[in-house]
Structures are given as structure tokens and as C-alpha cells.
Chains A and B, each alone.
Chain A
């Protein structure tokens, strides 16, 4: 893998991010059309088209971009950190636990009085999950213990969220488990961008700083420690970075699965399997996948608010099975 080929890959991925971001801005359920959308975006006078572009489509596209980056980046970091290609926020139960935190913040009414409680609670849920996974699997967790720990955390968090929703006196709450389990970007507003964005960016900075340490971790944590890596700091950055970015993302859009699994895996051979090169590529790839999925959601069935997680799972779940099958064969 030559450096120039890597630069071309990043440039191509960036181009696709721009393309899907613009696509997300231009495509919607109304017949505003491309010209109308652009006019709404750039016209200086206030109009309904402008309202639609800035209050509905822009927050949706921005969240799609940021959450996609979060999922792709955190998936790549978790895989490098745990040295396991099956690691991903969804499969490890981190997303479910973040959803539980967000569910508690919203349905108890806490976030109505203190809006920051929403991303903070999502962060707290994700944080507890990462620590649990770490405690359950130990430093060199096998694929089996890792996935079993994820199943346990997911099952508990999912059940607890369902309980909270069922106990809510609001008759709509019970059906909203769908949103939390599958995720959606429909009719999110700039408020959500401002609430979750800063936490996601802080998380990204922490995760991105792990690029070179993750490279050394390829040879095991003892080797990394003796190559000058502060393994304790690496661990806390991985834990906090994942918790902050995934927790905030889930708290405004629900748990969108499999992006963090598929994207790093598809891109890994293209970056020569070097973890530090995988991080930026995977972040861009995550954004492309999520923005594309969100465009498809709007094109396939605009009337029924199809959940975005349905699409990512349709692609991701068979892929996951294939990975499990392959890793089982390798362990024989």
C-alpha cells in the first residue's frame, strides 16, 4: 500500500461524502426539486423552501454525516483496540446501553428541564457498557467472550429500555422502542445537532489520537507498552472516546447497527490493514454508508418513516454471520 494510493482512497471517499451529503440535502418527500432546494439553501430572502432546507434537511444531513463518522470511526477503533474484527458499538451492546441512558433521560422528563441530560445520559450508558465489556472479556478477550458479553449487555439494556417505555404513562412511548433499537434521522432538528455534535467531536478527537498507538497494539498490548505507548491512557481514551461519540449519536438518533462493523471491514484491505490508516478511511466510509441509507429510506417508502437501522441491518446482519462463520473456521 503506497502512500499515494492511500491519498487517492481518502480523496475518493471524501468526494463520496460530499456527494451523499449534497444528495441528502436535495432529496426529500416534497416536490421541492433540485432547483428549489438550491434556491432555498442559498437565497437570502426568507421563504418556505429556506425553512425546509435549514430546519429540516440540513440538520438531517449533518446528523447523518456526524453519526456516520462516529459509527465508522468507533467501529475501527474498537476493532483495533480489542484486536477483533467483530467488535462494533452495536454488537458489543454499547449502542443499546446508550439508548437505555437516553430513554431514561427523555421518558422521565429529565431532558425536558435540562436538555444536556440527553447526550450525557447516552454517554453514561455507553460508558458503563464499554467498562462492562472490558471487565467481562479482560485484556485479550476471545471472539466468543466478546460477543457473549455484547449479547448480555444488549439483552439487559434492551429489556430495561422496553420496561421504561412500557411503564411510561404516555400511550405513544411503548411503540418508540423501535426508534431506539433501529434508529432514525426523520425530522430531527438543529437542536439535536447542537446537543450531540460537541460530544461527538470530542469523542472523535480522542479516538483519532489513538491512530499510532493502535498500530503498535497490532503486536499485542505488552509489545505496544514497550514501544512507548501508555496503554492505560490508550484504554481510557478508547473508552471515553467511544462513550462520548456513540453515546451522543445514539441519544439523538437511536441505535443504528452494523455500520461500525461493515465499514472498517470493507475498507481494511484497501488501507493495507494498518489501523491508523483505517481510522480516517472508516470515518469517511461510515458517513457515506449512513447518508446513503438515509437517502434510501426517503426514496423507498417516504410515507411510512422506515427506520434507517432496518436498511443497515439488512446488509449488515448477513455480513456479520459470514464473519462469524469465517472466524470460526480460522479458530479450528
Chain B
């Protein structure tokens, strides 16, 4: 089932064309890594797809026109993990994760079993049981990142859009998070994540979409997208590519030498 379908998506920021005709589909079961150099339009693409900024072109969420959905309906189809890890008030971790259930709870509807199951699943998936009663602002950066992911998971939407979810995490937590997303995809959800770490993208994503200058320049299997030639052209870096432990290893090691 197609959970996200973009056609000819265009968006401007401050008069500059940031998205220039983006088209691709994301089906259930996919873990899509959105890669590309700074300024390629990755974050803008996620924000445009969520209706957070004005755009032109077609946005379909689970077969429905994303532009006509109400905020609450949209939240049932897609959840979002912003890049900024803002937590304005020091509520407890548990209360914060419960915020993810907001679109499922009409005004005055009491908490139901489904809510509890979703929250518990999110707490377990992110391994944050031990600080569930701690104030969210007292956590370290990595811990904050994990509870915010848990919040997005608790929303239990078929599609998750995550903007640089691994930034600021140590290697163990980065890999744990990628595993979580991959597992989510295996269970029939879909995840689209902006990633800067090509190694993580290569290893855990089922598919990579590479952007540059507001356009999709490559789309497909990680091994096919992450060719040293394309990376040299798009990122201007020399990359070491290999296979190890049943998956690809991709490691940029120097700036590309001039032509």
C-alpha cells in the first residue's frame, strides 16, 4: 500500500525555489533514507509533505489528498519528528510520550487500552522505561532525542517522517534507533528519515532517495544509490565502499580532488 505519494512537488522559501518538482512514492514496509548535501531541500520536503509550509503539486497520504485533510486526520496518517529537540516545559517523560496520543483522543474522551498499548510499545521500543517518571528537561541530549522518538512512535501513524533523528546520538543509540525504524517498517509501517550519516543510511534503509538542488537525483537500493561516482558528484567527497557483516559499509574519507 502506498502511504505517501508526491507528484511534482514545488516549494519556495524566501523567494528561492527549494523544491523543484519532487515525485516519489513510499509504500508500507519501506524505510526510506532521504540523503543529500546541506541545502538540498530534505527538511523542506518533509515539511511540505506535512503541509507545514505552502507548496504546489500533489501530496497523497494513504490514498487521500493531503491538502484537504484536517490537521487531526493528517496526524492519524503521518507522524513527524522535527529536527529541533524543543521541550518547553519540564513535564515528565511519560506525560511527554502521551502527547503522541493527542490525535487519537477527541475532547474529553478518556484514555483507552489502545492508548496504553501504543505508549507502552513506544516506551519499550526506545528503551526509556527507566526514566519514564523523570522530568524531560533533566535528561541528556541523547535521552531527549530518544523520548521524542518515543513520542512520535506513540502516535502510531502508518507513516513516520523524521528529520535527522540520529543527530547527537552515540553510535549505540544511533544503531538502536535505525533498528527500531527498520523494525517498524518490517511491521508494515513506513519511515522516511533525513540522514547525514551515509554509513547508517547504507546499512539500515531499504531504499535511499538522494536529493540535490531541490530535485531527486537518485532513487533506489542503497547499494545502487551510494556509488563512489555519484557521491563524488553530489557531495564532492571520496568514499570507501565495501561489504561487511552482511551489509554495505560506506565511509567518506576525503574531499573530492578537483577535476
Q: Is B113 an interface residue (CB 8 A)?
A: no
Question: B106 to nearest A CB, angstroms?
Answer: 10
Flag A190-225 by CB within 8 Å of B: 1 or 0 each: 000000000000000000000010011111101101
**Chain A CB within 10 A, most for which of B84, B86, B89:** B89
Determine the residue in chain B with the shortest Cβ distance to A234: B71
Contact between B99 and A273, CB atoms less than 8 A apart: no
Of B24-32, B75-83, B235-243, the one touching chain A: B75-83
Interface size class of B (residues with CB under 8 A): 35 or more
Known: A220-B84, A274-B91, A275-B89. A228 touches B102 (CB 8 A): yes
Is A212 a contact partner of B74 (Cβ separation < 8 A)? no
By the criterion CB–CB under 8 Å, are B107 and A273 in contact?
A: no
Q: Flag A267-279 by CB within 8 Å of B: 1 or 0 each.
A: 0100011110000
User: Which range holds the interface residue count of chain A?
Assistant: 20 to 34
CA of A219 to CA of B107, assembled, Å: 20
> Which residues of the partner chain B approach A1 to less than 8 Å between Cβ atoms?
92, 95
B98 → chain A, closest Cβ, in Å?
9
Distance in angstroms between the alpha carbons of A74 and B92 in the assembled complex: 24
Query: How distant is the Cα of A217 from the Cα of B71 in the complex, in angstroms?
Result: 14
Number of A-B contacts (CB under 8 A): 86
B10 to chain A, nearest CB (A): 20
Cα–Cα, bound, A225→B75 (Å):
8
Q: A226 and B80: CB pair below 8 A? A: yes
Is B112's CB within 8 Å of the partner chain A?
A: no
Q: List the A residue with the shortest CB-CB distance to B101.
A: A227
B151 touches A (CB below 8 Å): yes
A218's partner among B47, B96, B100, B155 (CB-CB below 8 A) is B96
B74→A226 contact, CB < 8 A: yes
Q: Is the CB of A226 within 8 A of B70?
A: no
Least Cβ–Cβ distance between B157 and chain A, in angstroms: 9
Which residue from A80, A229, A274 sits with its C-beta under 8 Å from B102? A229
Is there a chain A Cβ closer than 8 Å to B199's Cβ? no
User: Which single member of B71, B73, B91 contacts A273 (CB below 8 Å)?
Assistant: B91
Residues of B within 8 A of A216 (CB): 99, 102
Q: Are B86 and A220 in contact (CB under 8 A)?
A: yes
Can you list 18 contacts pairing A with B, beta carbon distance less than 8 Å? Answer: A1-B92, A80-B88, A212-B102, A216-B99, A216-B102, A217-B88, A218-B89, A219-B151, A220-B84, A220-B86, A225-B50, A226-B50, A226-B74, A226-B80, A227-B155, A231-B71, A273-B89, A273-B90
Closest 6 CB pairs of A and B: A228-B103, A228-B75, A228-B72, A226-B80, A83-B88, A273-B89
5 more contacts with CB within 8 A, not counting A1-B92, A80-B88, A226-B75, are: A219-B148, A222-B50, A228-B71, A228-B72, A273-B90
